[in-house]
Structure 1
Amino acid sequence: MFGGGGGLDPRKMKQMMKQMGIEVTEIDAEEVVIRTADEDLVFTDADVQRMDAQGQATYQIVGDPESRPRAEGAAEAGSEEATGDVDADAEATDASAIPDADVQIVAQRTGASEEEARAALEAEGGDLAAAVSRLE
């Protein structure tokens, strides 16, 4: 549409977009979460732009997300109400408080044993990405 954009002056680009009725706004987002049926994609240091054109708002997210598996029946942190899932209750009262699913993910991604994966997760406070980095 703009001939590649490589040699186009940013001011000229803004002017052309304004003429076409497109307005771009930077958003100072602290965190962006995209929730799917299987995982949460969490962007903690992302650049976010909102583009308004023809009555529609489009959001652009630029960054590297951390993939977090979704726990079935996950309750809000600190909630004392049971979800009726005995396994989830057992995990919550486990001394390590690291979900087995997280241990398996780290072990699969790094090729480490489950014991090594659990130790890395405990050392990193449950942070999956940091545990994977620690083992790689």
Structure 2
Amino acid sequence: MKGRAAQATDGAGAAGPEPTTRVQGMLAEDQALAYLEKAGLKLVTRNYRTPGRGGGEIDLIMRDRDGTLVFVEVRSRGSAQFGGAGASIGQTKQRRIILAARHYLAALRAHPPCRFDVVLIEGQPVWLKSAFDAGD
């Protein structure tokens, strides 16, 4: 089976058509995951989705060294136009991430400390710790 990066080529090594948005997103998540693991976080799960329409999704759920559960949103943009990757995480997106986090936490016996981080991929990763909160 070809790796994710190989999907962006035509199989012969020559650059094929531009990767789809989905492939670009997966590559950005791969880059963010490697960056966070290098910083000492451990992957708990990837692409956690709540059931049903209108639910939320969390790109990465990680565990920090101190035991904090970290819900990570990964955003990638090809350019800084329109505010770049960071500007694309509005209140609606935050609410959906929070919804998914609450759904995930509901299945746990005890709730560890949690935070919401964002990793922006615009060239080198930029890690925004505690980028937003659940507002409780």
TM-score normalised by length of structure 2 = 0.26
Bigger Rg, which one:
1
Structure scoring higher RCO (CA < 8 A, sep ≥ 6) equals: 2
TM-score calculated relative to the size of structure 1: 0.26
